[in-house]
Each structure stands twice: as C-alpha cells, then as structure tokens.
C-alpha cells in the first residue's frame, strides 16, 4: 500500500461523450512513437463491447477469494491479449495527397481498413425505439490498490508509487512479456511494438507533481472529473466515495480495488405500448449493478433524493459538490492540504 492514494471520480451524469479527455490525453502522451493505437484514456458508449473490443470478457483480475466483497483473492485469473486490428483497431492513415492533389476521383479513405476503434459503438447502446438507451463511460488505468498487472509482471517492472499510489511500468525493466496486459481486467495496458515494452496511463504524474491535474481531468469540458487524495476528507473523492457513497468503482468483482470511481447515470423513463411514460428508468437497474456492483441502487436513490431537495429550493451539499461552481475546486492536489 502506498502511504497516500490520489483518486479520481468521474460523474457519468456530467459526461457528454465529447472525447475531449481522450484527445487531451492523446495529444499529451500517445500521438507518437508506437503509442498511436493506444488510448490511455477513452470514452465508450455503454452498453456495448467497448474498447478494446469485448474487454469485459477478456479475463484478468483476481479470483474471488474469501475476503470482503470486492477485495478479491490472491490468485490471478487468466486473461487474453486483445488483437491489434480486430480489438484495438489500427490507427489508420489517410490518402490525403492522392484524394486532394492527384488527378482522378479517389475518395479520402483509411489506407488500411478499419475494423474497430476506441469509439466504434458511439451512441449505439441497446433497447428499442423509443426506449433505446445509452450512456458514456470514460475509462483509464484505475491505479488500483491491488493491481493485478503488478502481480503478473515477472520482471517486477510494475510498481505503485509510495507517495501517490500511481501505478507505473518501468520501461527500462519491462521486456514486453505482456503478462500485465492479460492480467489487467480493464485492459488498460498496451504493448508498444516499436519500443518492445508495455505502456499505460501514468496518471499524468509529471503534471501532478507540479500540482496540475491530469490532462483528462483538467481539460474535461463537461466538468465531470474530480481529483483528490482519497484520505482528504475535504476532497471530492473522499466525500463522494465514503461520505455520500455515490461514487463507485467499475467492476469491483475483479478484486483490484480501483481508484477511479464513477457517479452512476440517471436516465429518463421508458414508454409503455401506448406511449405513456412508465416511471421506470430506461437504463436497466441490473445492468448498472453488473457494472458498478450492488451499491448502485443506493447511490442513484441518494442522487434523486438530493436533486429533489434542490427542486424544492432546499440546500444540498452533495449537489453543490457535483455542480462544482469553481472548476479549480474539483481538484485538490496540494500535498500540504488537508490531512486525515
């Protein structure tokens, strides 16, 4: 265990699926040097197979053990490696010069056929009109408290930083065996074929060390991401995760104890056969439980109760916290800040 853990909370009721986080990360870290196909951060439409394709059925994580729910056992589950073209999708280039400046009528096209990508199922979801539904799920490395990737690495090249809990792969020790890729149940480690080693989200530690939040969080134009020390009781992470219990980890059943948390999505009611609203949210409750665990219902009830207070003109600390009147208040990175 690190002495302190930096945590992120992503509010799915504020995520608008614009992918500004994805491109902010891309332009910061992965638009070069064999990282082009990687998305350390991406946003996928749910329900869906996601990115890399079918990651939720690709294994990894810990066998469920005798410990408390979500704490997992001590045996790693087998996992498989996503395939470049079929599951990640190649970072296609385009024939700009031929299409624009050369005689003939070649359309602008990817120079290699695209089979998949980080946003392949955009706005697709499930259900039947008028009861179709979808929502956005941003995903990045969870910087887990019990990282399966770290345990899986035969080179001991993956470590968790003592001072902030950021999980890193040492490129000088990594030999590119990719056990970590298989072991990560979120499939958020990528093999860099040019460098011959694996890479992943570094939680923007060069920024964080200077007190500047991660690019994905700071540049989130939907203002959906809060970052603070998990033990900072004045920070959004502690308050949303522990105090209000409205922020939940993704797929806690893998036992890795993620440090990225999600405020689950509300949704408008379905219509019955006559076209009358039913009062039942269109995102099925059991689907949300499958993503965020059994706490999701209580979290949604809390959100609805607090919204109702605001509707009546009453105060709600939770709503004010989620509204985040000042962008800067969404981030508390100062190490000298409030201690437990």
Does the CA dihedral 61-158-146-191 come out positive or negative?
A: negative
Beta bridge partners of 9: 226, 261
| Cβ-contact 89, 118 below 8 angstroms | yes
Is position 333 an interface residue for other proteins (rule: CB under 8 A)? no
Which residues does 118 contact at the CB level (< 8 Å), separation at least 6?
22, 39, 42, 43, 44, 51, 89
Among 57, 66, 68, 97, binds other proteins (CB under 8 A): 97
Q: Which residue has the tokens 């009781």?
A: 233
Select 171 or 293, whichever has its Cβ closest to other proteins. Answer: 171
Residue 236 Cα distances to 9, 210, 228, 288, 291, angstroms = 8, 20, 6, 22, 22
Q: Judged by CB under 8 A, which of 117, 185, 235, 252 binds other proteins?
A: 117
**Between residue 265 and residue 294, which ones bind other proteins under the rule CB under 8 A?**
265, 267-269, 271, 274-277
Q: In what order do the strands lie in the sheet with 225-229?
A: 248-249, 260-263, 6-11, 225-229, 331-332
Q: Which residue lies nearer to other proteins by CB, 206 or 294?
A: 206
Which residue's entry shows tokens 């959906």?
224
Cβ 157 vs Cβ 176: under 8 Å: no
Query: What residues from 294 to 313 belong to the interface with other proteins (CB under 8 A)?
Result: 307, 309-313
The contact pattern for other proteins, residues 201-230, with x = CB under 8 A and - = no contact, is -x--xxx-x-----x--xxxxxx-------
**C-alpha to C-alpha distance for 111 and 93, rounded to whole angstroms:** 6
Considering only residues 136 through 165, tell me which ones interact with other proteins, judged by CB under 8 A: 136, 147, 150-154, 156-162
Query: Which distant-in-sequence residues (6+ apart) come within 8 Å of 128 by Cβ?
Result: none
Of 67, 78, 211, 294, which lies in the binding site for other proteins, with binding defined by CB under 8 A?
78
- Closest contact distance (angstroms) between CB of 25 and other proteins is 9
Kindly tell me which residue out of 4, 26, 254, 332 binds other proteins, with binding defined by CB under 8 A.
26
CB of 91 to other proteins, least distance (A): 6
- Do the strands 189-192 and 277-281 form a parallel or antiparallel pair, or are they unpaired? unpaired
228 or 256: CB nearest other proteins: 256
334 contributes a contact to other proteins by CB under 8 A: no
Q: Does 65 bind other proteins (CB under 8 A)?
A: no
Q: For other proteins, which residue of 69, 173, 280, 285 counts as binding (CB under 8 A)? A: 173
Choose which of 328, 334, 337, 339 interacts with other proteins (CB under 8 A).
328
# binding residues, other proteins (CB under 8 A): 128
Nearer to other proteins (CB atom), residue 194 or residue 294: 194
* Six token digits for residue 102: 């050369």
Among 7, 24, 137, 299, binds other proteins (CB under 8 A): 24
Q: Does 250 bind other proteins (CB under 8 A)?
A: no
Name the minimum Å distance from CB 290 to other proteins. Answer: 19
- Mind giving me the DSSP string for 150-163? HHH-TT--EEE-TT
Interface segment toward other proteins; rule CB under 8 A; list 64-72, 188-196, 238-246, 285-293: 188-196
Torsion, CA 144, CA 146, CA 149, CA 155, rounded to 10: 120
């Amino acid at each position: 265990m690190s002495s302190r853990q930096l945590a992120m909370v992503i509010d799915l009721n504020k995520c608008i699926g614009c992918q500004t986080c994805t491109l902010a990360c891309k332009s910061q870290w992965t638009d070069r040097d064999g990282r082009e196909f990687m998305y350390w951060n991406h946003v996928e439409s749910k329900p869906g197979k996601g990115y890399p394709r079918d990651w939720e059925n690709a294994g990894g994580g810990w066998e469920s053990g005798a410990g408390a729910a979500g704490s997992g056992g001590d045996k790693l589950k087998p996992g498989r490696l996503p395939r470049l073209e079929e599951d990640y999708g190649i970072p296609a280039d385009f024939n700009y010069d031929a299409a624009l400046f050369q005689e003939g009528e070649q359309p602008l096209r990817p120079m290699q056929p695209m089979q998949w990508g980080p946003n392949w199922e955009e706005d697709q979801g499930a259900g039947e009109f008028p009861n179709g539904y979808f929502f956005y799920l941003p995903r990045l490395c969870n910087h887990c408290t019990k990282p399966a990737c770290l345990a899986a690495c035969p080179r001991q090249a993956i470590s968790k930083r003592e001072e902030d809990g950021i999980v890193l792969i040492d490129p000088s020790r990594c030999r590119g065996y990719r056990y970590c890729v298989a072991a990560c149940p979120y499939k958020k480690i990528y093999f860099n074929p040019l460098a011959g080693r694996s890479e992943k989200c570094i939680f923007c530690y060069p920024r964080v060390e200077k007190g500047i939040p991660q690019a994905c969080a700071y540049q989130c134009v939907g203002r959906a991401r809060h970052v603070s020390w998990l033990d900072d009781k004045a920070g959004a992470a502690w308050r949303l995760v522990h105090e209000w219990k409205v922020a939940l980890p993704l797929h806690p059943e893998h036992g890795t104890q993620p440090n990225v948390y999600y405020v689950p999505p509300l949704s408008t009611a379905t219509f019955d056969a006559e076209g009358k609203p039913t009062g039942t949210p269109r995102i099925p409750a059991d689907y949300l439980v499958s993503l965020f665990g059994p706490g999701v219902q209580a979290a949604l009830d809390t959100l609805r109760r607090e919204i109702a207070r605001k509707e009546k003109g009453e105060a709600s600390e939770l709503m004010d916290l989620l509204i985040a009147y000042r962008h800067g208040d969404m981030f508390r990175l100062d190490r000298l800040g409030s201690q437990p």
